[in-house]
Amino acid sequence: MKGTYLGEFEEVVLLAVAIRAGDAYGAAVVNEIEQQMGRSVNLGAVHSALNRLQEKGLVSSEMGGMTAERGGRRKRLYKVTAYGQRALEEIRQLRNQMWEAIPRTAWS
């Protein structure tokens, strides 16, 4: 993962894709972020982040089946790649390491 910068919003979108496990499309990712974080997000911003994540190799996508609710249009479904999973694990490890490094006196 070294050399691939992941901003906070990209990290949140990547986590939402992982949570949705197989059912991650733009609107579902928006709903997941809003539910998990209590934070309103823009669908266009999520699509931009998904495109950046795909360019970085952290997610892959494929077209899902047509649905009547979408007027016969297909959804683009995203999933976390092995590289994306490693990136999330490294981010988690780094954050935990930094939390552990905070001296108790820092909260006084």
The residues near 89 (Cβ < 8 Å, ≥ 6 apart) are: none
pLDDT tens per residue, range 71-96: 677 889 999 999 999 999 999 999 99
CA angle 33, 36, 42 (to 5 degrees): 20
Mean of pLDDT values over 44-70: 90
pTM of structure: 0.86
**Element at 81 (helix H, strand E):** none
Write down the number of H helices and E strands in the chain.
4, 2
pLDDT value at position 19? Answer: 97
